[in-house]
Amino acid sequence: MSDRTPGVSGPVVGIVGHGYVVARPFGDLPVTGTPPTYVEALAACGARPVLLPGGRASELLDLVDGLVLTGGGDLDPALHGGESGAAADVDRARDDAEIALVHEARRAGVPLLGVCRGLQVLAVAFGGSLAAGIGHRLPLEGHPVATAPRSLVRGLLGERVVTSALHDQAAVEVAPCWRPTAWADDGTVEAIEWAAGDWPALGVQWHPELTWHADLDDRTGPALFGWLREAAAMRAREPRARTLVRS
């Protein structure tokens, strides 16, 4: 039985792509893409991953059952009251597009998993603030993270888990609509969950899509992407209007 189309299994989960510049023999080529580890992570848990062009993703929400906001560069400090110059690889157009997308996803009830920068986008979109210079750069050996009792991440991952770490920004304050539910040993917020419970939305500060790296101790990927797959499958089974845009 399909979650959406007869004969095809698995909910459709959109990975929000963003701009890269690829050096080619004829010159630099702007492209929209995402690391293939996100595709592999979703496919491994039974979802059907599709790439959404970042600047147009809000227009395509009716085509997907779930969303992933991926990692990437720092958010513009001007968006959250941070210090100017304390961020790297800033793409303000991406920031604005993803913040707008988060609000559209909230209104539409589209299940969402924010990864690393994705958590930060979720926090800032609702008025939260970030700290810079965290310097958690342990992508392979990772670091321990403790989860809150009666939280989604506690149910998925247990009381304490080792996660990857590769970020310089982290959420400091979040709006009341978000509940921090995991922390590194130095107090860094490592997960936030939508507090009202009426939107399946979760942000994690680490990189669960790297679980499939042979040298990585982080084993959180199947649980987190599996959660998104199940939430997306539930949405796919809900009767709702969809609009197909034809040229």
Confidence band (pLDDT; 50, 70, 90) for 243?
Answer: very low
- Give the model confidence (pLDDT) of 29-54 as tens digits: 888 889 999 999 999 999 999 999 98
Evaluate whether 116 touches 137 at the Cβ level (below 8 Å): no
Task: Calculate the alpha carbon distances from 123 to 97, 98, 159, 235, 241 in Å.
Answer: 15, 12, 23, 23, 29
Q: What is the mean pLDDT of the chain?
A: 89
Q: Catalytic annotation on 209?
A: yes
Q: Residue 115 and residue 17: Cα distance in Å, rounded?
A: 13
- At residue 246, the pLDDT reads 35
Query: In which band, very low, low, confident or very high, does the pLDDT at 168 lie, cut at 50, 70 and 90?
Result: confident
Q: What is the predicted pLDDT for the residue at 165?
A: 83
Instruction: Check pLDDT > 70 for residue 240.
Output: no
C-alpha 185/C-alpha 143 separation (Å) is 8
- Catalytic-role residue among 18, 98, 116, 136: 116
Question: The dihedral of CA 49, 50, 54, 58: what is its sign?
Answer: negative
Whether the per-residue pLDDT at 83 is higher than 90: the answer is: no
Statement: residue 87 has pLDDT above 90: no
CATH superfamily of 12-236: Class I glutamine amidotransferase (GATase) domain (3.40.50.880)
Would residue 45 show up in a list of annotated catalytic residues for this protein? no
Please, is 105 exposed, middle or buried when counting C-beta atoms within 10 Å of its C-beta (0-12, 13-18, 19+)?
buried
Point out the least confidently predicted range of 24-33, 159-168, 213-222, 237-246: 237-246
**Among 18, 80, 136, 207, the one annotated catalytic:** 207
Q: What is the pTM of this model?
A: 0.91
pLDDT attached to residue 212: 65
Rg of the chain taking only CA atoms, in angstroms: 17
**143 flagged as catalytic:** no
Residue 164 — very low, low, confident or very high, per pLDDT cuts 50/70/90?
A: confident
pLDDT tens digits along 139-159: 667 889 999 999 999 999 999
CA distance 120 to 158: 23
Query: How far lies 85's CA from each of 91, 99, 207, 234, in Å?
Result: 13, 21, 25, 43
Q: With 60 as the cut, is the pLDDT of residue 138 above it?
A: yes
Note the pLDDT of residue 245: 39
